[in-house]
C-alpha cells in the first residue's frame, strides 16, 4: 500500500484528512480510490508505531480516514511508556484530546518512569561571578517500565487476548540459560580488546566526544562469536583504534555447546532453530553450518536474499525432503509471518537487542500446530558485553510482561530490576566495570514448564527417554 502524498507532520495530516483522502493500493499504476469505499483494510500495526516514519504517518492518515480502526499486533509495547504514545495518539481520540503531538515526555511522566539527574559543577569555577550561585544541569531520561495507570488507559481501547483465552491447547514452553566460559586464548584477546577500546573511549568522552561509542559496543558485542577472524575497530574518520587477532581453534566453547545440544535434540526427534545477529557483513553463519555439517547434522541458513513471500516455500521444501536438522537465521527475518512449528528447540546463539524482535522470535515455534514441548535457550559467554546485554534486555521484558498481564517469569526476566535504556546503560556499566555476578538470577524457567514436560531437568539438561 502506498499513500498518494507524503505527510510530514501530524497537524498537516489531520487537517488534510478532513477532505476526501485518496490512497493508491498496490504498486506502480495501482488502483486509486477513496478510503470511504473500503470496508476492511489490514495494516501491520507494529511497523506503524514510530513518531516520524513514513509508515507511521501513513497509518495515522488511514486511521483518521476510516470510521473505525481495528489494530492487531502481538507486541504493542516496547518496554517504555513512550513506545505506546504515538501509536495510541493515532488511534485513540481521547489521547489526542489530552496530549499534544509533542507531549511524549509528559506522557512518560504520567504513565512511565523518568529519571532526573542533576549535575553540579565542582569548585568555584561553577559559581556565578557576582551571585556565587552554583550552576547545575538537569538531564531527564525515560527508564524501562510503566505505571499501573498505563494498563487502565489501554483497557479503554484495547483487548488483550491470548490463545489460552480462546481455549486452544498448547504444549509446554520453557526457557533456559547457558553461561559459557571462553577459551583461554579467546578470553585473553577479548580482555585486551576491551581494555584498548575502554581506554580510548574514556579519553574521548572526557573531551565530550561520543563518536566511538557505537563502534565500542558493536565490537565487544560481536567479538566473542567471531573470534575466528581478525577484529579491526575504526572510528568514524577511519582511524584504527583497536585490534584483536584471529584465533585458530577448531571449535570455540559456545560452538561446541551448540553442536552437542543439536546432536542431543536430533536423537530425541527434535529440530533446532538457531538465531544469530551477525548475518550480513560480519556473517558468522557459514562457520556454524560447517561445524554442524562436520557433526553430521543437516544444517542450512535462511538468508535475507530470499524474498519474504518465498521463505515459507523455501523452508517447506527442505523440511519435506528431510534436508534439515538445524535452521540458522537472523531473528528479524522470521519475527513475523513465518510458521515455524516444525522446530521444537530455539537457540539464541546471539541475543537480539530489540524487545519487539525478542518477543516475536522467541515464540515462533510455540503456536497453534505445535505438538511437542518447546525449549528456548539463551547462550552467552560469561564476563562479556553480551553477558551484560542479556541481563539488561530482561528489564524491558519484565515491564512488557506486567503490562500484558503475563507471569513475570522467563529466561531473561526473573528478578530483573527496572533499569535504563539498553545501549546507554550497557555502555555505562561497561565503562564502570560492572559485572553480571549471577545471570541465572535472570535466566529462570518459565512458569509454564512442568518438571518432566519438555525432556529437560531442573538445570535445563536433556534427559534420557529410557
pLDDT (0 to 100) of residue 276: 97
Q: What's the pLDDT score for residue 215?
A: 92
For residues 93-107, average pLDDT: 88
Same domain, 232 and 254: no
Residue with cell 538468508: 303
pLDDT at 401: 63
Q: What is the pLDDT of residues 411-460, one digit of tens each?
A: 444 434 433 445 556 666 665 566 665 555 554 533 333 333 444 554 45
Q: What is the mean pLDDT of the chain?
A: 77
Which strands, in side-by-side order, build the sheet including 345-348?
173-180, 374-381, 345-348, 272-275, 326-329, 299-302
292 shares its domain with 178? yes
Q: Which of residues 187 and 61 earns the better pLDDT score?
A: 187
How many Cα atoms sit within 13 Å of 38 on the Cβ side?
22
Please indicate, yes or no, if residue 190 is contained in any of the structural domains: yes
Lowest mean pLDDT, pick from 35-39, 330-334, 436-440: 35-39
In a domain, 310, yes or no: yes
**56 and 146 share one domain:** yes
Residue 145 has pLDDT above 80, yes or no: no
**Euclidean distance between CA atoms 83 and 321, whole angstroms:** 43
**Can you give the pLDDT at residue 159?**
80
Identify whether residues 191 and 177 lie together within a single domain.
no
In this prediction, residue 116 carries a pLDDT of 80
Question: Average pLDDT in the 189-202 region?
Answer: 95
In a domain, 452, yes or no: no
The CATH number of the domain holding residue 396 is 3.40.50.300
Name the more confident of 43 and 428.
428
**367 and 236 in a common domain:** no
Q: What angle do CA 69, 159, 50 make, to 5 degrees?
A: 55
CA distance 104 to 87: 11
Directed axis angle between helix 285-294 and helix 253-267, to 10°? Answer: 50
- Pick 9 or 379 by higher pLDDT: 379
- Say if CB 347 and CB 145 are below 8 A apart: no
Average pLDDT of 147-172? Answer: 80
In a domain, 446, yes or no: no
Mean pLDDT confidence for 201-206: 90
Summarize the confidence of residues 167-172 as an average pLDDT: 85
Q: Which three cell numbers stand for residue 439?
A: 545471570
Give the mean model confidence (pLDDT) for residues 11-21: 42
Let me know whether 179 and 207 are in one domain: no
pLDDT on residue 133: 58
Q: What is the pLDDT of residues 376-418, one digit of tens each?
A: 999 999 999 999 888 777 666 766 666 555 544 454 444 344 3
pLDDT at 253: 98
Instruction: Give CB contacts under 8 A, 24+ apart, made by 249-252.
Output: 249/183, 249/185, 249/186, 251/291, 252/182, 252/183, 252/186, 252/227, 252/228
Residue-wise DSSP of 344-357: -EEEESS--S-HHH
Residue with cell string 577479548? 190
Domain membership of residue 268 as a residue range? 173-183+249-441
- Confirm whether 316 is domain-assigned: yes
Q: In total, how many domains does the chain have?
A: 3
**86 and 197 part of one domain:** no
Residue 218: φ, ψ to 5°: -65, -35
Mean pLDDT to the nearest integer, 232-240: 93
Measured CA to CA, the distance from residue 180 to residue 227 in angstroms comes to: 15
Query: In terms of pLDDT, which residue wins out, 204 or 121?
Result: 204
Least confident of 45-59, 216-230, 244-258, 426-440: 426-440
The residue from 244, 259, 288 where one domain ends is 244
Same domain, 78 and 179: no
Report the pLDDT value the prediction gives residue 183, as an integer from 0 to 100.
Answer: 98
- Please report whether residue 195 resides in a domain: yes
Same domain, 48 and 30: yes
Whether residue 449 is contained in a domain is answered as no
- pLDDT above 60 (res 293): yes
Q: Do 213 and 289 belong to one domain?
A: no
Stronger pLDDT, 447 or 226, i.e. the higher one? 226
Region 68-76 average pLDDT: 76
Same domain, 96 and 228: no
Percentage of the chain lying above the pLDDT 70 cut: 69
Q: Assess if residue 463 is contained within a domain.
A: no
Same structural domain for residues 235 and 280?
no
Amino acid at each position: 500500500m502506498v499513500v498518494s502524498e507524503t505527510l510530514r507532520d501530524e497537524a498537516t495530516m489531520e487537517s488534510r484528512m478532513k477532505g476526501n483522502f485518496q490512497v493508491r493500493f498496490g504498486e506502480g499504476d495501482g488502483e486509486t480510490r477513496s478510503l470511504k469505499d473500503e470496508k476492511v483494510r489490514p495494516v501491520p500495526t507494529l511497523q506503524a508505531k514510530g513518531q516520524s516514519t513514513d509508515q507511521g504517518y501513513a497509518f495515522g492518515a488511514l486511521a483518521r480516514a476510516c470510521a473505525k480502526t481495528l489494530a492487531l499486533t502481538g507486541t504493542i509495547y516496547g518496554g517504555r511508556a513512550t513506545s505506546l504514545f504515538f501509536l495510541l495518539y493515532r488511534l485513540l481520540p481521547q489521547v489526542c484530546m489530552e496530549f499534544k503531538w509533542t507531549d511524549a515526555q509528559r506522557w512518560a511522566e504520567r504513565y512511565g518512569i523518568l529519571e532526573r539527574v542533576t549535575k553540579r559543577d565542582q569548585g568555584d569555577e561553577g559559581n556565578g561571578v557576582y551571585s556565587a550561585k552554583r550552576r547545575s544541569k538537569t538531564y531527564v531520561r525515560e527508564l524501562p517500565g510503566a505505571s499501573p495507570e498505563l494498563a487502565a488507559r489501554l483497557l479503554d481501547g484495547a483487548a488483550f487476548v491470548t490463545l489460552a483465552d480462546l481455549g486452544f491447547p498448547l504444549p509446554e514452553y520453557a526457557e533456559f540459560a547457558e553461561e559459557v566460559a571462553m577459551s583461554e586464548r579467546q578470553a585473553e584477546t577479548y580482555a585486551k580488546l576491551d581494555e584498548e577500546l575502554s581506554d580510548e573511549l574514556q579519553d574521548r568522552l572526557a573531551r565530550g566526544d561520543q563518536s566511538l561509542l557505537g563502534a565500542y559496543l558493536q565490537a565487544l558485542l560481536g567479538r566473542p562469536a567471531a573470534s575466528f577472524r581478525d577484529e579491526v575497530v575504526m572510528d568514524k574518520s577511519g582511524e584504527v583504534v583497536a585490534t584483536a587477532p584471529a584465533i585458530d581453534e577448531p571449535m570455540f566453547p559456545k560452538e561446541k555447546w551448540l553442536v552437542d545440544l543439536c546432536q542431543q535434540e536430533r536423537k530425541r526427534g527434535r529440530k533446532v532453530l538457531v538465531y544469530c545477529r551477525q548475518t550480513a557483513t560480519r556473517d558468522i553463519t557459514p562457520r556454524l553450518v560447517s561445524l554442524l555439517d562436520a557433526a553430521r547434522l543437516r544444517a542450512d541458513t535462511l538468508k535475507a536474499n530470499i524474498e519474504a513471500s518465498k521463505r515459507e516455500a523455501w523452508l517447506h521444501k527442505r523440511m519435506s525432503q528431510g534436508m534439515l536438522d538445524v535452521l540458522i537465521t537472523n531473528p528479524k527475518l522470521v519475527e513475523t509471518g513465518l510458521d515455524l512449528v516444525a522446530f521444537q528447540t530455539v537457540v539464541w546463539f546471539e541475543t537480539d537487542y530489540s524487545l519487539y524482535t525478542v518477543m516475536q522470535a522467541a515464540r515462533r515455534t510455540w503456536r497453534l500446530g505445535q505438538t511437542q514441548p518447546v525449549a528456548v535457550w539463551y547462550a552467552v559467554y560469561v564476563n562479556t558485553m553480551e553477558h551484560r546485554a542479556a541481563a539488561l534486555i530482561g528489564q524491558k521484558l519484565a515491564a512488557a510482561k506486567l503490562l500484558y498481564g503475563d507471569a513475570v517469569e522467563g529466561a531473561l526476566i526473573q528478578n530483573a530490576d527496572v533499569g535504563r535504556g539498553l545501549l546507554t546503560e550497557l555502555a555505562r556499566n561497561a565503562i564502570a566495570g560492572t559485572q553480571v555476578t549471577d545471570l541465572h538470577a535472570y535466566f529462570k524457567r518459565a512458569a509454564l514448564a512442568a518438571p518432566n514436560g519438555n525432556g529437560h531437568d531442573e538445570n535445563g539438561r536433556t534427559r534420557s527417554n529410557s
